Amino acid sequence: MVQPERPFDLLNKEIGQAVLIRLKGGTQIRGKLSSFDIHMNLVIQDAEELEDGVTRAKIGTILLRGGNIIYISPV
């Protein structure tokens, strides 16, 4: 039987890659996943805030608190 991957294993594979993150309140952030911790706090580089898939604001490097994250998806 194949063992399913753990969430942190999946995140480890995405370090240095572009990800799309949806936050509580509906905000979407796109950028490169730099690092994360056990609380799912994320450091995102070259972050952009999106609105309807279009860049609304360029943010740069940002720390997202894990408790505000709804999902993380590879781009």
| The pairing of beta strand 18-23 with beta strand 28-36 | antiparallel
Full-model pTM: 0.90
- Beta bridge pairs of residue 26: none
Q: What is the pLDDT of residue 17?
A: 98
Whether residue 1 is predicted with pLDDT greater than 80 in this model: the reply is no
CB under 8 Å to 72, separation ≥6 — which residues? 11, 14, 19, 20, 21, 33, 42
For the chain, report the end-to-end CA distance as a whole number of angstroms.
Answer: 29
What CATH code would you report for 7-74? 2.30.30.100
List the structure tokens of 21.
């993150």
Residue 29 · residue 21 · CB < 8 Å: yes
pLDDT digits (tens, 9 = 90+) for 13-65: 999 999 999 999 999 999 999 999 999 999 999 999 999 989 999 999 999 99
Whether residue 68 is predicted with pLDDT greater than 80 in this model: the reply is yes
